[in-house]
Amino acid sequence: MALTKSSDAFVPAKPARPVTTWALRHVSTSIGALGRLARQPFASLMTILVIAVTLALPAAMHVIIKNVQSISGSWENALDFSLYLKSGTSIEDASRLAELIGKRADVQAVTLIPSDEALEEFKAQSGFGAALDHLTENPLPHTIVVRPGSSNTEQSITLMHEELANLPETDFVQADTEWVQRFHAILDMLQRAIAIGAGLLGAAIVVIIGNTIRLDIQNRREEIEVTKLIGASNAFVRRPFLYSGLWYGLGGGLLALALVGYGMFALKEPVGRLAGLYNSPFSILSLSFTESLLIVGTGVALGLAGSWLAAARHMRRIEPR
């Protein structure tokens, strides 16, 4: 078509419907950015790998802590009180008391161990069998083992402990909760430490991606100048770099998931074997869907943040000369 013959030659260019155009433009920019990464597969893969490892470290630590918590959590549920009754208490009184305690709403189960049974068991397990035969009377008291219900809180457990200790028949209540509590405190501390570490590693990802994007911007300086010269806004010039950051983050996040997943897979069998040796039904807990989503989302967010910082800093300075 020759310009001289065209009657509508100077109707200004009309943009198409804004929303569709906007969406199409983003789709094509994002694919363009992906294509650019694909054209340098080795460099892109290296960047993605660094991000993946950086994300996988805290994620793996989190999974380990989560598994340890699930094991130790079952210990806490299995935390029983041993109620040693005064030595004069008759077996009838003991069983009546056991029945009474068993009726409490906050108690899940009650087991009465009569002193005779306890002695038999002790003889069998301690290896002092022959020596104990010489005892004229049984030194062991009747024992009531109380298993609190799972709805109990720490306070209600403490309260129950006090109540049981104050019963007239009670000689002594043993509840060995302290080491479990210490263990949980250690786990909490580790978890906090991992959170701090994860924050630092996140900052590292922002820096890594920011630096990669900065180099990319420098390499494409001329292109940016020309595009600005023919009327591109800062947002337009920035967009492909933001998408690069997004792809780096997404790739890193997905690869981190794969790394953690592979680690879990490799541990599943030996852990199962170990649990089998302890007669435990425990099987290793993997990342939940939400956690996986969080890891990938974190990758994407950090990728965007890094590229945004780099683009905002360097894009403004590149003006046509």
Partner 1 sequence: MIRLEDVSKRFPGGQEALKNLTMSVDKGEMVFVTGHSGAGKSTLLRLIALIDRPTGGQVIVDGQNTRRVSRRKIPAYRRQIGMVFQDHKLLYDRSVFDNVALPLVIAGVSHRDAARKVRAALDQVGLLHKEKRSPETLSTGEQQRVGIARAIVSRPKLLIADEPTGNLDPDLSLEVMRIFRRFNEVGVTLLIASHDIALIDQLGCRRIPLENGMLQVEEEEDFVSEYAERIGIDVEPGPWR
Q: Which run of H or E residues covers position 170? A: strand 170-174
Residue number with CB closer to partner 1 (12 or 281)? 12
Helix intervals (H) in 78-177: 91-102, 115-126, 129-132, 154-166
Least CB distance to partner 1 at residue 20 (A): 8
Closest CA to 258 of 33, 51, 56, 50: 56
State the minimum distance, in angstroms, from the CB of residue 253 to partner 1: 29
Neighbours of 304 (CB within 10 A): 19
Q: Are 209 and 302 spatial neighbours (Cβ–Cβ below 8 Å)? A: yes
For residue 17, give the DSSP letter: -
**Cα(29)–Cα(227) distance, integer angstroms:** 14
Q: What is the CA radius of gyration of the chain?
A: 34
CB 218 to partner 1: min, Å: 15
Taking a C-beta distance cutoff of 8 angstroms, is the pair 228, 320 a contact?
A: yes
Question: Cβ(211)–Cβ(310) under 8 Å?
Answer: yes
Region from 119-127, 223-231, 267-275, 303-311 binding partner 1, contact rule CB under 8 A: 223-231
Residue 158 or 233: which CB sits closer to partner 1?
A: 233
Among 30, 228, 285, 315, interactor with partner 1 by CB under 8 A:
228
Whole-number minimum distance, CB 241 to partner 1, in Å? 15
Whose tokens are 């039904």? That residue is 281
| Long-range CB pairs of 171-178, under 8 A, 24+ apart, other chains included | 171/84, 171/85, 171/86, 171/87, 171/141, 172/84, 173/81, 173/82, 173/83, 173/84, 174/81, 174/82, 174/84, 175/79, 175/80, 175/81, 175/82, 176/79, 177/76, 177/79
Q: Which one of 181, 233, 280, 283 is in contact with partner 1 (CB under 8 A)?
A: 233
Strand duo 143-148 + 107-113: pairing: antiparallel
Tokens representing residue 203 in the block: 């900052």
**Least gap, CB of 21 to partner 1 (angstroms):** 5
Answer for the pair 234, 315: CB distance below 8 angstroms, yes or no.
Answer: yes
Question: Closest distance between partner 1 and the C-beta of residue 11, in Å?
Answer: 7
Minimum CB distance to partner 1, residue 22 (Å): 7
Binding mask 176-195 for partner 1 (x = CB under 8 A): --------------------
Site track for partner 1 across 71-110, x = CB under 8 A: ----------------------------------------
Binding residues among 1-60 for partner 1 as defined by CB under 8 A = 1-4, 6, 9-18, 20-22, 24-25
Among 38, 226, 274, 293, binds partner 1 (CB under 8 A): 226
Q: Which is nearer to partner 1, 217 or 287 (CB)?
A: 217
CB closer to partner 1, 121 vs 319: 319
Q: How many residues sit in the footprint of partner 1 (CB under 8 A)?
A: 34
Q: Whole-number minimum distance, CB 32 to partner 1, in Å?
A: 10
**Nearer residue to partner 1 within complex by CB, 36 or 104:** 36
Binding footprint of partner 1 on the chain (CB under 8 A): 1-4, 6, 9-18, 20-22, 24-25, 223, 226-234, 236, 319-321
